Amino acid sequence: MDVRRRSPKASPGPKASDALPLPLYLTNGIFFTLFFSVAYYLLHRWRDKIRSSTPLHLVTLSELAAILSLIASFIYLLGFFGIHFVQSFIARASWDIETLNSRPPTRYVDPLPSQDDEDLVNSVVSGEIPSYSLESRLGDSYRAASIRREAVQRLTGRSLDGLPVEGFDYQSILGQCCEMPIGYVQIPVGIAGPLLLNGCEYSVPMATTEGCLVASTNRGCKAIYASGGATSVLFRDGMTRAPVVNCPTASRATELLFFLEEPANFDTLAVVFNKSSRFSRLQKIQCSLAGRNLYIRFSCGTGDAMGMNMVSKGVQNVLDFLQDEFPDMEVGGISGNFCSDKKPAAVNWIQGRGKSVVCEAMISGEVVEKVLKTSVSALVELNVIKNLTGSAIAGALGGFNAHAANIVSAIFIATGQDPAQNIESSHCITMMEAINDGKDLHISVTMPCIEVGTVGGGTQLASQSACLNLLGVKGACRESPASNSRLLAAIVAGSVLAGELSLMSAIASGQLVKSHMKYNRSTRDLSTILLGNLTGGSNLASWVVAGTLAYFLWVKPSQELKRQQQEKAALAAASDTYRYVEKRKPIPDPQETGLIYGNKNKSKKSEE
Per-residue model confidence (pLDDT) at position 122 = 93
Q: Residue 300 and residue 249: Cα distance in Å, rounded? A: 29
Q: Residue 473 and residue 486: Cα distance in Å, rounded? A: 9
Question: Average pLDDT for residues 4-29, to the nearest whole number?
Answer: 52
Q: Which of 232, 270, 280 is nearest to 481 (CA)?
A: 280
Q: What is the DSSP string of 513-538?
A: HHHHHHHSS----HHHHHTTS-TTTT
Residues with Cβ within 8 Å of 43's Cβ and at least 6 positions away in sequence, in order, are: 553
| pLDDT higher than 60, residue 4 | no
Q: What is the pLDDT of residues 264-310, one digit of tens each?
A: 999 999 999 999 888 889 999 999 999 999 999 999 999 999 999 99
Q: Residue 174 and residue 197: Cα distance in Å, rounded? A: 37
Per-residue model confidence (pLDDT) at position 75 = 82
Per-residue model confidence (pLDDT) at position 7 = 41
Determine which helix (DSSP H) or strand (DSSP E) holds 230, and give its type and residue range: strand 230-241
For the entire predicted model, the pTM comes to 0.69
Determine which helix (DSSP H) or strand (DSSP E) holds 138, and give its type and residue range: helix 134-138
The pairing of beta strand 281-290 with beta strand 428-435: unpaired
Residues with Cβ within 8 Å of 541's Cβ and at least 6 positions away in sequence, in order, are: 25, 26, 28, 29
Q: What is the pLDDT of residues 492-522, one digit of tens each?
A: 999 999 999 999 999 999 877 776 666 666 5
Q: What is the DSSP string of 295-355?
A: EEEEEEE-TTB--HHHHHHHHHHHHHHHHHH-TT-EEEES--SSS--SS--HHHHHH--EE
Question: pLDDT class for 51, splitting at 50, 70, 90?
Answer: confident
3 state SS of 128: coil
Question: pLDDT class for 417, splitting at 50, 70, 90?
Answer: very high
Determine which helix (DSSP H) or strand (DSSP E) holds 289, and give its type and residue range: strand 281-290
Residues with Cβ within 8 Å of 577's Cβ and at least 6 positions away in sequence, in order, are: none
Per-residue model confidence (pLDDT) at position 539 = 53
Does residue 238 contact residue 283 with C-beta atoms inside 8 Å? yes
Per-residue model confidence (pLDDT) at position 113 = 43
Per-residue model confidence (pLDDT) at position 533 = 43
Burial class (CB in 10 A: 0-12, 13-18, 19+), 479: exposed
Per-residue model confidence (pLDDT) at position 577 = 55
Answer with the residue of higher pLDDT: 218 or 67: 218
Q: How many CB atoms lie within 10 A of CB 161?
A: 8
Of 234-243, 550-559, 562-571, 579-588, the least confident? 579-588
Region at 348 (left for phi over 0; alpha for psi -120 to 50; beta for the rest):
alpha
Q: Residue 190 and residue 206: Cα distance in Å, rounded? A: 5
Per-residue model confidence (pLDDT) at position 144 = 94
Question: Average pLDDT for residues 341-362, to the nearest whole number?
Answer: 96
Q: What is the pLDDT of residues 248-266, one digit of tens each?
A: 999 999 999 999 999 999 9
Per-residue model confidence (pLDDT) at position 310 = 93
Question: pLDDT class for 53, splitting at 50, 70, 90?
Answer: confident
Of 45-54, 79-88, 150-159, the least confident? 79-88
| pLDDT higher than 80, residue 411 | yes
Q: What is the DSSP string of 426-473?
A: T-EEEEEEEETTTTEEEEEEEEEEE---SBSGGGGSHHHHHHHHHHT-
Q: Which of 445, 456, 489 is nearest to 471 (CA)?
A: 489
Whether the bond between 194 and the residue before it is cis, its omega within 30 degrees of 0, is yes
Per-residue model confidence (pLDDT) at position 114 = 56
Q: What's the angle, vertex CA 44, arms to CA 38 and CA 50, rounded to 5?
A: 135
Per-residue model confidence (pLDDT) at position 47 = 79
Average pLDDT, the chain: 83
Question: pLDDT class for 233, splitting at 50, 70, 90?
Answer: very high
| pLDDT higher than 90, residue 164 | yes
Kindly state the DSSP code that residue 390 receives in the 8-state scheme. Answer: I
Q: Strands, DSSP E only, in 103-229?
A: 189-197, 200-207
| pLDDT higher than 60, residue 578 | no
% of the chain residues with pLDDT over 70: 76
Determine which helix (DSSP H) or strand (DSSP E) holds 144, and give its type and residue range: helix 141-156
| pLDDT higher than 60, residue 439 | yes
Q: What is the pLDDT of residues 516-534, one digit of tens each?
A: 666 666 555 444 443 444 3
Q: Residue 500 and residue 492: Cα distance in Å, rounded? A: 12
| pLDDT higher than 90, residue 61 | no
Question: Which residues are identified as catalytic?
Answer: 210, 342, 418, 516
Does residue 354 contact residue 451 with C-beta atoms inside 8 Å? yes
Region at 601 (left for phi over 0; alpha for psi -120 to 50; beta for the rest):
beta
Does residue 170 contact residue 181 with C-beta atoms inside 8 Å? yes
Question: Average pLDDT for residues 216-243, to the nearest whole number?
Answer: 96
Does residue 224 contact residue 498 with C-beta atoms inside 8 Å? yes
Does residue 338 contact residue 418 with C-beta atoms inside 8 Å? no
